Structure 1
Amino acid sequence: MVCLLVATKADPASIGPASALLSLCSSWTRGPDIDNNPSYRTRDVRMIHLQDKIVYEDFLEQRWETVTGENVSEIIFMSRHTAASNRPALTVHPIGIPHLEHDANSPAGGKPGRASPPNSRIGAWFRLLKSTAANNNLLPEFEVTLEATHHGPWTEVPAMFVEIGSTEDYWRREDAAATVASVFMKGLGLDGDQAVGCWSEEIHAGEKVLLGIGGGHYAPRHTDIAQKDGVWVGHLLSGYSLLMSDPGANVKDYDKIEGTWKEAILEAVSATKRAFPGGEVVAHLDAIVTLKFIFWVVSGLLRLLELHCMCATGLFSSHHPSHHRTLTNSNDEVLCAHQVHEIRRGFLPIWLPVCIC
C-alpha cells in the first residue's frame, strides 16, 4: 500500500510545496508516467505532477493502480486556497459535496451527494501545520485553520487537501511552500521519525472521532476542539451544507424538515466511519442560530443523530436570557427532551448537550 501525493503544475501553491518536498528528501526517484504525468517515489510514498486543475481528477487511486499495480491507501492533495478576504492562510480539509442532489451539476468537481472518506491525518496535520508555521515565523501573518468539507475530486480512499492562500502573491511564497513541505516531510515520516496521524484499528479502536456539523466554512468551534492533542477529525459540514426547508406548522415533525441535510449528514457519517474503522464517531454540533429557527434546526439534527445511534456534543447559543436547564424557545416550549448543561461565556448562555445514546 502506498500514500499518493498529488500536485499540479497549473497551481503555484501546489507545485511549489511539491518541488520543495522533492528537494528536502534525497531518496526520491523518478516513477512511471501516469496519463502522461510524471511521478516520483520514495519508500511507501508516491507523488504525481498533473497538468490541470486537481478538483476534476476523479479516481486517481484507480488510475495509479492500473499503471503500477500498487494499491493506494490514501491521497493527499497540495493546492491553493482562495478567499474573499484575501487573507494569507494555511488550511487543511476533507473533500466531498454531500449536500448536493445526485443529479446536480458540480461547479468544483466531485460526485454530487457523496463525500470521500476523510484522511485520518487531518487533525494531527492541522496541529503540525500550526506548530511548523509558528516555528517558521509565519504566524500571525498567516492564519492556520481547518475548512469545511467541500469540492472534488472524487476518490474512494481517504483523502484531504493541504492548501496555501489566499492570493497569487501568497501562493508563490517560498516560506509558505517550505512550511507545507516540512509538514509532509515530518507527517509522512520521511525525516526518519514516526509518521503522524495514522489510524490503526488495532491500536485506536474505540477512540472518538469528531464529525463537525454546523458553523461557518472555517469551522472555528470545531477547530477549537481539533487543536487539542489526540483529537481525530472526520468530515466537517458547515451550515451552508445543511440545506433545510422551514417546516412551518409541522415544526415538531422531523420528517417534514425537507432538504438534503439528512442525506448530507448520513453520507458524512458513513464516509467518516469507513476512514476510522473501529472508532466512535461523535457529532460536534455548532448550532449558532437565531431563536426563530433554533427549535426545528436543533431538534431535527438531534433526532436524526438519535435515530442513527450517534453521540452528540456541541455548542448552542442564543440571546435568550432564560437560564433553563433545557433549551426553550421564546414561548418557553422545550426545544429538545435531552438533558443539557448550561455554561456561561460572556453574556451569552451556551448549552452543552449530554450524549444522546
Structure 2
Amino acid sequence: MTALAIVESRADRASVHICDQLRELADWEVVDDDTRPAADGGGTYYRTAGVELRSFDDFHLELEHPVEAFDCDPDVLVFASRHSGDTGPLLTGHFTGNFGPAEFGGEANAVAEACPNALAHLLDAFDEYAPERYDVGMECTHHGPTNVGCPSLFAELGSGDEQWDDPNGAAAVARAILELRAVSPHCDRLESEARSSHESRDASPCRQVVGFGGNHYAPRFTRIVRETPWAVGHIAADWALEAMGHPSAHRDVLEAAFDASNTDMAVLDGEWPVLEETLEELGVRIVSETWLREVGDRPLELVDAVESSLGAVDDGVRFGDCAAESVAVVELPTALLDAAEGLDPEAVRTVVEGTTVAFTTENGGSRVGSQVAVPSSNGESSNTGDTTATQTIAAESELTARGAIIEALAGVLEEKYETVTLEDDAVIAERTSFDPALAHEIGVPEGPKFGALANGDAVTVDGETISPETVRSQQTDRFPI
C-alpha cells in the first residue's frame, strides 16, 4: 500500500472542508505531536492505514518541504486545496512548479517532483465521485511549492465560494484522495491494490510524458490521460513557455521537468521549433498524441522494432493484435489485397489486424497497405550455432504467417466469387457473371436493360423475353501470390 500524506491548510476553507470530509470517511487514530508547532503540521494530527493527515496555518503554495512534518515517509503527498477561477463547479488536479518567474510561491525555474500515475488515478476517481454539475479537469504546472520532499499533487475543489462550502463537492475530493492509497507515484503502481478498471496504466514503468504547449487547462494532455494508458507529468502551457523565455537558455528547468516526471518523452501541443530543437539536444524523444494512442500499452521495445523495420506510426503504420519479441516484414500480394479491399475493407482490416504485429496503411489510414510485420522466430534450433538452421526456422515462420493472411484474404473473395481456390503461386477465383458482349450479340440495347440483366432480372426486347442466364459467362480471375 502506498504511504499517503495529506496536507490541510487552515487558511483555505475549501481545504478545511475537504479534510473534514476525510475525517468522516475513515477510521482515524487521533495523535498529538508536541515536537513541532501546530502551525507547521504539529499538534493534533490523524492517521489511518497508509494515510497521515496534518494541518498547517499557511496556504499550501507557501509551504517549504512539508514532507518533514510527516512520520509515514510518504510515497505521495496531496495538497487538499481550493481552485479559484471563472470555471464553474470543477474538480481538478495538477503539479507544482514555475517555468519562469515564481509569482505565486516556490522558486523560479524549478519544479516539484510529480506523480503522473497518481494524477491519472485522481482524475479517474473524480469522474466516479463528482457531484452532478461538476466538471473534472487537469491543469498545467503552476505556482509553488517547488520544494516538497516527495512526489506531490494538488487535489482541488472549485471554483468559487459556493463550491468551497459545498459538502458534496468536498466529499468527492476527499473520496478521490483516499483512492490514492492504492496508487504509486509513477506508472508502476501496486497492481494487487489497483482498481481493475484502470489496470492498463501499469503496463510499463515509463508510460508517461511531459507536455508542452496548449492552454492552462491542458485539453490535449487531459485527453491523453483519459483515453490512453499513458499518464502526463509536468505541463508547460503556452503562457508558461512565454514566461520562461528562450528554451536554450533554460535547459535546467526543462531537464528538471523530465527528471521530476520520471520520463524522457514529450508531447508538444502547437508549433515550437526552437523548443523542439532544444529538447532533441537534451536527448528527449518527442512523440505525438497519435503515437501514444496507437502504441497504447505495447512494449516500447517492440514498437521501436516495428518503426525501424516497417515505418513510423506518424506515417501511417498501425498495430495488429499479435505479440512478438521480434518482427519480420513481409509483402502481401497487391492484386489480391486490392480485390479483397474492394469487396469488404472492414473484413480485410480485421484479417490483417488479427494476424500481424503491425501493418502499413494508405489513403489516410483508411486502407491496409501491402507491407506487414509478423512475428519472427527467434531462430532457436536443436543444433546450437547452426546459422543455416536458424535462418530456415525464421523464414518458415514468416512464410507461415504470410500464408495465413493470404488464406484469410482469399476467404474474403468468397463474397463475390462462387469458387476460390488457393494454389501454390496464385489464388484462382471463378464466378458466372453478366457478359455485355453476349447481350450485344442478341440485341439488348445498353442502358437500363443491361443493368437489369446484370442484377439477375429478365428483360423484354422486341417482344422477346431474355433471361439473365442467356447472357452469362464464366469469369476466372487469377491473383498471383
Q: TM-score, normalised by structure 2?
A: 0.52
Aligned counterpart, 1:348 = none
Length, aligned pairs only: 276
Query: In the aligned structure 1, how far is the partner of 2:269 from the partner of 2:87?
Result: 25
Counterpart of 2:122?
Answer: 125
Quote the offset at 1:197 in angstroms. Answer: 4.9
Matched, 1:238 2:234: no
What is the distance in 1 between the residues matched to 2:114 and 2:123?
Answer: 13
SS across alignment from 2:53: strand
- Alignment partner of 1:165 is 2:158: yes
CA displacement at 1:210 relative to structure 2: 2.0
**Cα distance in 2 between the residues matched to 1:245 and 1:32:** 41
Q: For the Cα contact (< 8 Å) 1:242–1:260, is it kept in 2?
A: no
Alignment of 1:222-261 (within 5 A): 222-228=221-227, 230-243=229-242, 257=246
Matches within 5 A, 1:275-294: 280-287=263-270, 294=271
- Kindly provide the amino acid, as one letter, of the partner of residue 233 in structure 1: V
What is the match of residue 145 of structure 1?
A: 137
Determine if contact 1:208/1:281 at 8 Å carries over to the other structure: no
Unaligned runs of 5+ in 2: 191-201, 291-311, 317-481
Q: Which range moved further: 304-313 or 216-225?
A: 304-313
* 1:202-241 equivalences in 2 (<5 Å): 206-228=205-227, 230-241=229-240
CA distance in 1, matches of 2:264, 2:31: 40
Equivalent residue of 1:242, what SS? helix
- Structure with the bigger RCO (C-alpha within 8 Å, sep 6+) is 1
**What TM-score do you get using the length of structure 1 for normalisation?**
0.69
Which residue identity is paired with 2:113? P
Aligned-CA RMSD value: 2.9
**Partner of residue 5, structure 2:** 4
Equivalent residue number for residue 253 of structure 1: none
Shift of 1:86: 4.6
How far apart, CA to CA, are the structure 2 residues paired with 1:233 and 1:208? 9
| Distance change in 2, residues 1:174/1:61 (3 Å) | same
CA–CA separation in structure 2 for the residues paired with 1:206 and 1:86: 34
Shift of 1:223: 0.5
Contact 1:242 1:264 in 2 (8 A): no
Of all paired residues, the percent bearing the same amino acid is: 24
Unaligned stretches of 5+ in structure 1?
Answer: 101-105, 189-194, 247-256, 274-279, 288-293, 317-337, 343-357
2-structure distance, mates of 1:245, 1:35: 37
Report the 3-state secondary structure (helix = DSSP H, G, I; strand = E; otherwise coil) of the residue aligned with 2:110: coil
SS state at 1:243 partner: helix
Q: Secondary structure at the match of 2:98?
A: coil
- For residue 225 of structure 1, report the CA deviation from its aligned partner: 0.7
Once the two structures are superposed, residues 4-51 of structure 1 have per-residue CA deviations (whole angstroms, 9 ceiling, x without a partner) of 100112212111111111111124332425421431111221111112
| Deviation, structure 1 residue 213 | 0.7
Cα distance in 1 for partners of 2:179, 2:55 equals: 21
* Cα pair distance change 1:168/1:308, threshold 3 Å: same
If each structure's helix is expressed as a fraction of its own residues, which one has the higher value?
2
Displacement of 1:75 after TM fit?
1.1
Q: Does 1:307 align with 2:304?
A: no
Could you say which residue in structure 1 is the equivalent of 2:109?
A: 113
Work out the CA distance in 2 between the residues paired with 1:210 and 1:14: 29
Cα displacement (A) at 1:261? 5.3
Amino acid at match of 2:123: F
Distance 1:78 1:201, change over 3 A: closer
